[in-house]
Structure 1
Amino acid sequence: MAKKRIRIDLEDTDGAKYNFNIEGNITRDKVLKIFELMDLMNIEDQEEAPQLDSVGAKIWHIVDKYFPMGKFTSTEILEKYEDEYNEPVKLSIISTYLARFNTKGRINRLRNGREWVYQLVKIPQRAD
């Protein structure tokens, strides 16, 4: 089995750079601890506008903007994509990216008859 590795590089508003590397037996708890540490250090994502320089980024923007809580299909993403960006895209491209997002753990997918139904994966917030 291949060794798992996660690397997170961040820069805060003051220009300080942070590098986090996790190797080996990576668990969800270990990743959540890194995010908690980032929260304690008050490191936040400072992007005002998302970088929409690729089809994948545009598809992810549609998923995050229109379906943050509910379920959706690739056809619904296709419709929103064409409305939002006013450019055509093939359904197979949408399906490929959604499958990749599923493999990366960013969305869940379930079979519903002849089609896949997707839902955004949210990391639960701890109540302090």
Structure 2
Amino acid sequence: EKKRSGALKDKLILLLNKRFDRGWFTSKQVAMAFFEEYGEVIPVNVIATYLARFHYSGLLDRQGSRARWRYRISKELVAEVR
């Protein structure tokens, strides 16, 4: 399970850089894009947890309220992938 979560984190970071490098996005949009990209269904609440972690570690900017968070890529995420 630990290995899978590491792989999921890496896939999410790659996906965010590839598909969401401009503008704001939601966890639901990321979950849909994840399925399109990898053919895997990841529950929206799991995606939301990862996005919140990325936000707290400085990789994503966040706005809105708890029920409707929106995120965008910060400079730190771009630097981490390159």
Q: TM-score, normalised by structure 1?
A: 0.51
Q: Which structure is higher in strand share?
A: 1
Q: How does 1:90-109 map to 2 (within 5 A)?
A: 90-109=43-62
Match of 1:84 in 2: 37
CA drift at 1:67: 1.1
Match of 1:6 in 2: none
Sequence identity (%): 31
Cα deviation 1:75-94 (Å, max 9, x = unaligned) = 00000000100011111110
Structure 2 runs not aligned, ≥5 long = 1-5, 77-82
Q: Which structure is higher in helix share?
A: 2
Provide runs of 4+ in structure 1 moved above 2 Å.
Answer: none
Larger Rg: 1
Match of 2:68 in 1: 115
Kindly indicate whether residue 22 of structure 2 is the aligned counterpart of residue 73 of structure 1: no
Q: How does 1:1-128 map to 2 (within 5 A)?
A: 54-111=7-64, 114-122=67-75
Looking at structure 2, the residues matched to 119 and 93 of structure 1 have their Cα atoms a distance apart, in angstroms, of 18
Q: Which has the higher contact order (CA 8 A, sep 6+)?
A: 2
Secondary structure (helix, strand or coil) at the match of 1:96 reads helix
Structure 1 runs not aligned, ≥5 long = 1-52, 124-128
CA drift at 1:114: 3.1
Root mean square deviation, CA, Å: 1.7
